Structure 1
């Protein structure tokens, strides 16, 4: 392993080598860095991207299910989406590192718009192209999130990363609160197909605004080294490399996401048969998430990350329990409220610490693109594992109780993520003095 890599030691602590400590200074838990103008602008671009996706993406599984009546179609759409997204991360890493990462960000936004335009033009015929449409959506997300994560890493530091993620979660919750409610109202008022066409069109417009706004983000410098397609995976082969634990932790996060990203909204609609109620559901749960992200984002520090993440993982599992009493709208509301309250405790430390690890050594910072691709590989693998469980279970048993048990099993996977993350949460964080 390269000099300066962090290695796990006794007691679950993670330390850097003596050579590295000459170049890196420990970040004290008491520091509270503010966000600069570029960070605020990136938050704005990402908020618009999230709003556009929330406006149409929340109802896309419903739209496909109503047109096909097939639960498997939604699963295969998501499978194509996750697979294409992971491959795009890996292949586009070379462009982002050696070329213009801001163009990758913009291409992701434009392809997202193209995806919704395609669905708009196909109408109900979109059900015949579930996997290709999923792959188009995944490719768009791959280009966008790869560039976004690299830029996010470059404009934040360990002492303001929790603050940034708190604001990102707050803005995402605000968009997730208002946009789906508007969509549900429009779809119900305009009686279905006309409403779907309108919200897909609105998504296109907002994607366009986000793309224009991105031109005010400064052009980021190219990486000083060549991109290596196998770099991150070679790190996993090294005994004692901290990324072996981090990879497992992120993969556990992906297992949950692979099912919950599409199944929750679809389940709410099937339980109510009403898009407006799905909009009301997202309005309430996102409002609670907004407040939760704001409060936790302000109070979370490097000192209390470990306790916060453990509490979050356990409470996310408890939040699923009401569904065992029945998948009704009221039980789904209890589940959604619990998830909205406790998710920030889990996801903020999870996101912040993985990027802290990337920036904790000069080797990590100079190969940030490869490590971000490695993180996405873990997420993709986890999502495909979780989704595979759904695709295997459904043809065998698609009863309400079977689906709830699947949600519970994948929903408690964050506990495994906390276990693998624990040494990183307890360790001091180092950052280059010159950054």
Structure 2
């Protein structure tokens, strides 16, 4: 039996690429999985709670707009905290922000619509601090040749969590009924968030040796580089345009489904199916994605999603929305993963080692600006079936721009490498 379990463990390590990962990355991935666990329990149901209390789907759009705005702002602030203190503290501040959010939700559910701005700001605050350290740890603990596998593993595990947690939460909410069901789910998330903080203590305080730690910030230098260097301009633009679709699709399909059939259980079932799509997708991406085929994968996925969006013209029944959500969950990974890997490569090749967090935070500002722009595009269309269909098609079309910009960024990076090699050869001859 012991031998059998060892063989199973070795098979899983090989299949998921864990045998290529460092011990530090595995510690980080464990902590991040518990983060996804408490987020998976409640993230969907914050939006359903807001819609149930207010009776208006637009409240979710404004909630997400505040979330995206403050995520960008708080990430810039988080860099200052990281410089003065340490990376691990910034992680814990982000998780503590979510604990404050869930505590606030527990005591203010009856007036959730009036508290929406507070929820949006708290979510943005927490996301800004947490996701800065996510980018920092992934960049520090992975190499470009293994980064697609690392991101795929994180996404694979997150897919399993997405597969089970929202469905369980929806079932609990409907079985218990009323606000008590929401209270139980938010209470569970509170407990798991505390466990996540404890796991974060296992991570190193700094991703560089303490004696080399910077206490200053370099935003002026980073912004100058972004303005003057075409690699940086193109890379930041890629992230911004990617955000146009990504931000709205985080909640749009759930709004459409909930407005069609007001059922938390069906929302959970939809999230379960999208979790299946995500799991399969991340496993496939981890097996086939390489630096050489990232752009091809992005283009193929965008084309498939556009064709699927065009099919919505024939109707938006709950079954069709769920089917489209499944396809979106599967193929969106083929856009997000390669795009993220390209930006990590840009950081690796072009960012000064003591200013990487500045570039990550500025990237987040560009990404969230794109997400907010996507919400404004969505608000510009009528709140009726054909209006939503056209919005979905327009938002999907923008991703061809993401593909083009990603391709250009990759070419510029390759050209910079060639020029560096040529300069080195000339120096050696001299």
TM-score interval w.r.t. the shorter chain? 0.7 to 0.9
Q: 1:142, CA displacement in angstroms? A: 0.4
1:96 to 82, 92, 96: 82
Report 1:204-223 matches (<5 A).
204-220=190-206, 221=208, 223=213
Instruction: Indicate the residue corresponding to 1:126 in structure 2.
Output: 112
1:241 to 220, 230, 241: 230
- For residues 291 and 365 of structure 1, the distance between their equivalents in structure 2, rounded to whole angstroms, comes to 35
CA contact 1:174–1:287 (8 Å) conserved in 2? yes
- For residues 229 and 286 of structure 1, the distance between their equivalents in structure 2, rounded to whole angstroms, comes to 38
Instruction: Indicate the residue corresponding to 1:340 in structure 2.
Output: 329
User: Which string of whole-angstrom CA distances, capped at 9 and with x for unpartnered residues, describes residues 324-368 of structure 1?
Assistant: 22221111122112112212211111111101110114x433311
2:372 matches 1:384? yes
Higher RCO, Cα 8 Å, sep 6+: 1
Instruction: Indicate the residue corresponding to 2:142 in structure 1.
Output: 156
Structure 2: unaligned runs, 5 residues or longer:
1-16, 418-430
SS at match of 1:273: coil
2:170 matches 1:189? no
Q: 1:173, CA displacement in angstroms? A: 0.9
CA RMSD after TM alignment: 2.1
Instruction: Indicate the residue corresponding to 2:427 in structure 1.
Output: none
2:401 to 416, 419, 424: 416
1:34 to 20, 27, 32: 20
2:263 matches 1:274? yes
**CA separation of 1:225 and 1:316: change in aligned 2, threshold 3 A:** farther
After TM superposition, the score normalised by the length of structure 2 is 0.88
**CA separation of 1:236 and 1:218: change in aligned 2, threshold 3 A:** closer
CA contact 2:234–2:408 (8 Å) conserved in 1? no
Q: 1:254, CA displacement in angstroms? A: 0.8
User: Which string of whole-angstrom CA distances, capped at 9 and with x for unpartnered residues, describes residues 11-67 of structure 1?
Assistant: xxxxxxxxxxxxxxxxxxxx9981111111211211111121121111111110010
Count of residues paired in the alignment: 396
CA contact 1:253–1:417 (8 Å) conserved in 2? yes
2:251 matches 1:262? yes
2:218 to 193, 218, 228: 228
User: Which string of whole-angstrom CA distances, capped at 9 and with x for unpartnered residues, describes residues 170-211 of structure 1?
Assistant: 011111111101011111111232211111111111111111
After TM superposition, the score normalised by the length of structure 1 is 0.87
CA contact 1:259–1:407 (8 Å) conserved in 2? no
Query: Which has the larger helix fraction?
Result: 2
